[in-house]
Amino acid sequence: MIEENKKIVDNFGRAHTYLRISLTDRCNLRCFYCMPEEGIELIEKPNIMSLEEIIALAGKFRDLGVDTIRLTGGEPLVRKNFGYLVEELAKLGVTLKITTNGIMLDKYLDLFQKIGLRKINLSLDTLDKAKSVFITKRDYFERIMKNLEKALEMDMEVKLNIVLIKGVNDNEINDFIELTKHKNLTIKFIEFMPFKGNKWDWSKGVGKQEILDLISKRFGNIDELKNPPHSTSSNFKVDGHVGSFAIVSTITSPFCDECNRIRVTADGKMLNCLFANSETDLLTPLRNGEQMDDIIINAIKTKKYSRDGMDVKMDADHYEKNRSMISIGG
Ligand code: SAM
Ligand code: SF4
Ligand code: SF4
């Protein structure tokens, strides 16, 4: 039982129990909505958390009430000795999840099964190979599709993450929904969000209502599912389909009221929000052997209620000061 004053609670009374750790800012893809065209300044090696530091920090968060950890990146599976890391993290007794582009998934599925990691978000923006090459600037489509099938055969809980961009993949919305007819997976449509250097412009985005209209026009009745606590998406199912779909409407209808998320970057900086442009350094005090509890508990007190203060609209002066998405991790 964790004492109340040892929980990570913000000034709005929201207890933070969900941690996303970015294992690296390196990636084997170059998705144009995530990675700025000119690239990013990579974190220098000595400033990247070692595996032991990640494990230690994750343990501190667990002791402060975190019960769920999602591993992300960059691409988390390119992190050297990832297998060792995930096995150690599994010993913390938290629910482990991962967000990956799927390229290296085959290498780790058996291990995931062994340690009980079943929740996999796989980014797959298109079902078309040529378009995949256009979006990711790399040619891994077949490999990703094969790994998706493998994960489903192994009964993993798979969600497909799809960032919708007008004129690029919005014409595939119903093809993705078609997949849910017989496959037990969730299709997660994500509204295009602004980060440093990604040339965001909402006219390129596709909003929640537009997505729902397109789906109901083709498939008819859509059931709204009950959202689990702290859900960051609205969840639906087409009548008679095995799988379901979800919409992450960060732009048109943010869901910050019950936010329970904290992020830690690969260089050990704590972010209170996906759009935070201030950070708390955790790695230096960890390396100095300092007491971490109060640093984490105090850091969350500066959290704003919604979108790091961009309550009404996305403000370029704000989000251009953030990190690029590739070094936050989603
Ligand atoms: N490389 C892994 C992957 O792609 O799944 C994990 C890291 S990636 C930054 C995490 C998620 O962020 C992906 O699902 C990706 O589609 C999403 N993402 C990246 N840029 C985004 C943007 N501008 N708007 C919305 N989602 C974005
Ligand atoms: Fe890499 Fe994921 Fe960003 Fe694509 S979305 S560039 S796979 S980190
Ligand atoms: Fe939480 Fe920020 Fe996302 Fe809102 S925008 S749900 S406050 S992380």
Average pLDDT over residues 289-311: 97
Mutate to test the pocket of ligand 2, among 38, 71, 101 (most ligand atoms within 8 A of CB): 101
What does the pLDDT read at residue 5? 85
Q: Quote the tokens at residue 320.
A: 């251009």
What's the chain's average pLDDT? 97
Mind listing the pLDDT tens digit for each residue in 226-276? 999 999 999 999 999 999 999 999 999 999 999 999 999 999 999 999 999
Mind listing the pLDDT tens digit for each residue in 163-209? 999 999 999 999 999 999 999 999 999 999 999 999 999 999 999 99
Indicate the fold that domain 15-328 takes in CATH.
TIM Barrel (3.20.20)
Nearest ligand, measured from the Cα of 162: 1
Domain-by-domain residue ranges, the chain?
A: 15-328
Residue 315's pLDDT band, with cuts at 50, 70 and 90, is very high
Mind listing the pLDDT tens digit for each residue in 20-65? 999 999 999 999 999 999 999 999 999 999 999 999 999 999 999 9
Query: Is 80 exceeded by the pLDDT of residue 1?
Result: no
Nearest CA to ligand 3 atom 4: 256
**Cα 11 to middle of ligand 3, angstroms:** 14
Strands 186-191, 222-224: pairing is unpaired
Residue 2 and residue 66: Cα distance in Å, rounded? 10
Residue 6's pLDDT band, with cuts at 50, 70 and 90, is confident
Residue 90 and residue 178: Cα distance in Å, rounded? 34
Q: Quote the tokens at residue 300.
A: 């969350």
Nearest CA to ligand 3 atom 1: 259
**CA atoms within 13 Å, Cβ hemisphere of 32:** 12
Q: Is the CB of 29 under 6 A from ligand 2?
A: yes
What does the pLDDT read at residue 2? 84
What does the pLDDT read at residue 227? 92
How many Cβ atoms from other residues are within 10 Å of residue 183's Cβ? 17
Q: Is the CB of 101 under 6 A from ligand 2?
A: yes
User: Above pLDDT 70, what percent of the chain?
Assistant: 100
User: Above pLDDT 90, what percent of the chain?
Assistant: 95
Mind listing the pLDDT tens digit for each residue in 111-163? 999 999 999 999 999 999 999 999 999 999 999 999 999 999 999 999 999 99
Mutate to test the pocket of ligand 1, among 79, 99, 158 (most ligand atoms within 8 A of CB): 99
What does the pLDDT read at residue 209? 98
Does the pTM of the predicted model rise above 0.95? yes
Nearest to 124 by CA among 151, 107, 145: 145
What does the pLDDT read at residue 262? 98
Residue list, ligand 1 pocket, CB within 6 Å:
27, 33-34, 72-73, 75, 99-101, 123, 161, 163, 190, 192-193, 195, 198, 325-326, 329-330
What does the pLDDT read at residue 311? 87
